[in-house]
Amino acid sequence: MKEKHTPKSNSRRSFLKTTALATAGISIIPRHVMGGPGFLAPSDKLVVAGIGVGGKGESDINSFYQSGKADIGFLCDVDKRRALNSIARFPKAKFYTDYREMLEKEAKNIDAVSISTPDHGHAIQALAAMELGKPVYVQKPLTHDIYEARQLTEAAEKYQVVTQMGNQGASGDGVRKMREWYDADLIGKVHTVYVWTDRPVWPQGIPWPKGKTTAVPEGLDWDLWLNTAPYKNYIEGLVPFNWRGWWDYGTGALGDMGCHLIEAPYRVLGLGHPKDVQCSVGSVYVDEFKRGYFPESCPPSSHAVMTFPKTEKTNEDVTLHWMDGGIKPKRPEELGPNETFGDGGNGVLFIGDKGKMMCGTYGRNPRLLPTSKTDEVDVAEKYDRVPGGEEGHYAQWVEGAIAGYGKKELSSPFEIAGPLTETLLIANLAIRGYDVRNEQKRANGDVFYNYPGRDIKMLWDSENMRVTNFDEANQFVRREYRDGWKLS
């Protein structure tokens, strides 16, 4: 029997209205700008609140602190077991379990908010902070749904807040060098890009465990962990990592690595939203000629192909191939037989009408092909480097938040990160649409299924955020939140 459960309400949104009424007609000047341009008193650093402070969240807030310009004032995590290291590292920081309570009680004491939680909570947590005028740093992917990504992109401009997504390769030197090579016409105009990853490195293509419900561990608030997702009883092995392989919470290999890898061609070629997408996915057979059907789980592997309209930097439409689960494209002929393709597990290959170039994860180790050309060219730097490269991504956001909206260039503000996230989630539409099935009956009463989302090309209307030729896929553009949760 399914357990009846009443979720905790997120009516704490009322605190936003209360705050707005209390400050109506009052101009609030942030503490860090009262001393004039560039002034930062030693005792008045950017006070950061972390939502999700274990694992990647722990490393994120440590990086903000190490910038020397931020203090970690507040910690929030639904799993206190995962937060113990951060609590020990920042003993003066006040700890909360519910981010809504923290924002309600501490809004006046918080300067900026970092969010490093499972994908399904990113949008509601980020928007709650943005509505209070707080700069936000959100881990990749920016959101779980396309609709959420569009909402956060628009909110950044509406609320005039400094934003950054956690794809640190956007601050690395590699992508900038490739932009310079491309602008110098070293490989001509690109028409095809291959992107691949060895992810997933967690279980996918499996059924939801049946009959394995166990007691919720002490220290974990399971209801708050679920937040917007449908209520299910707690099972072992989902928290803290393997949620990535379940559509209710994660976005699969594309969500995990897409923002790190697709960012390079997105930036080098000035890509926008794709106009169509098609895919094939790996199968798991559970018996002789019996293909498993596990629509709740991301597939074990996939190959998605997107077409991007011509840009100012291309002569024609660009075809981008995404491959995961260990699938790779054919090695380019210009690459030596013992040379590593990409970085081994992941990579990006640009194919132009005059040549090719490739890189690894985060845009690292860019190389022209054949690789001997890399050391032969001397192209002047035209794009400013971020001090510290990838690691400077964190300090860049801190400094941007201190400077104020529009005062400092950032590598992955939501105006860039939002459309990039939408792009990889559009590929996920095709992957999820692959498992849409309709039940039918033969004349003798036997039941069979057809799969209308397979072997088609989905046409994407970016302005209206919808697939125009396969309506069933549009259910994944904007999921329905659990009762009590709403994207305000």
What is the mean pLDDT of the segment spanning 92-120? Answer: 98
What pLDDT, on a 0 to 100 scale, did the predictor assign at position 6? 45
Which pair of structure tokens corresponds to residue 303?
């190959």
Mean pLDDT of the chain: 92
Band (211; pLDDT cuts 50, 70, 90): confident
* pLDDT 10s digits, 331-354: 999 999 999 999 999 999 999 999
Residues 446-467: tens digit of each pLDDT: 999 999 999 999 999 999 999 9
What is the rounded average pLDDT of the residues 203-207?
A: 96
Side-chain-facing half-sphere of 318: CA atoms under 13 Å: 29
pLDDT value of residue 33:
47
Q: pLDDT at position 10, please? A: 52
Q: What span, in angstroms and rounded, lies between the C-alpha atoms of 318 and 265? A: 10
CA atoms within 13 A on the CB side of 391: 7
- Partnered with residue 114 across adjacent β-strands are 50, 137
Of 5, 104, 103, give the one whose Cα is nearest residue 115.
103
Stretch 37-47: mean pLDDT: 61
For residue 488, the model assigns a pLDDT of 77
- The amino acid at residue 289 is F
The class level of CATH for 11-170+393-414 reads alpha beta
**DSSP code at position 372:** G
CATH topology of domain 173-230+244-385+422-476: Dihydrodipicolinate Reductase; domain 2 (3.30.360)
User: What six digits make up the tokens of 107?
Assistant: 């809004």
In tens, the pLDDT along 68-78 reads: 999 999 999 99
pLDDT at 43: 52
Compute the average pLDDT of residues 144-167.
98
SS3 of residue 310 by DSSP: coil
How confident is the model at residue 149, as a pLDDT? 98
Residue ranges per structural domain of the chain: 11-170+393-414, 173-230+244-385+422-476
Question: Which of these, 162, 51, 179, lies nearest to 103 by C-alpha position?
Answer: 51
Number of H helices, E strands in the chain: 12, 19
CB 487 within 8 A of CB 127: yes
299: alpha, beta or left? (left if phi > 0; alpha if psi -120 to 50): beta
Segment 272-302, tens digit of pLDDT: 999 999 999 999 999 999 999 999 999 999 9
Judge whether 255 and 338 are in contact, CB under 8 Å: no
Residue 210: which pLDDT band, with cuts at 50, 70 and 90?
Answer: confident
Residue 15 has pLDDT above 70, yes or no: no
Provide the pLDDT confidence category of residue 11 given band limits of 50, 70 and 90.
very low
Is the backbone peptide bond immediately before 141 cis, with ω within 30 degrees of 0? yes
In this prediction, residues 192-212 reach a mean pLDDT of 94
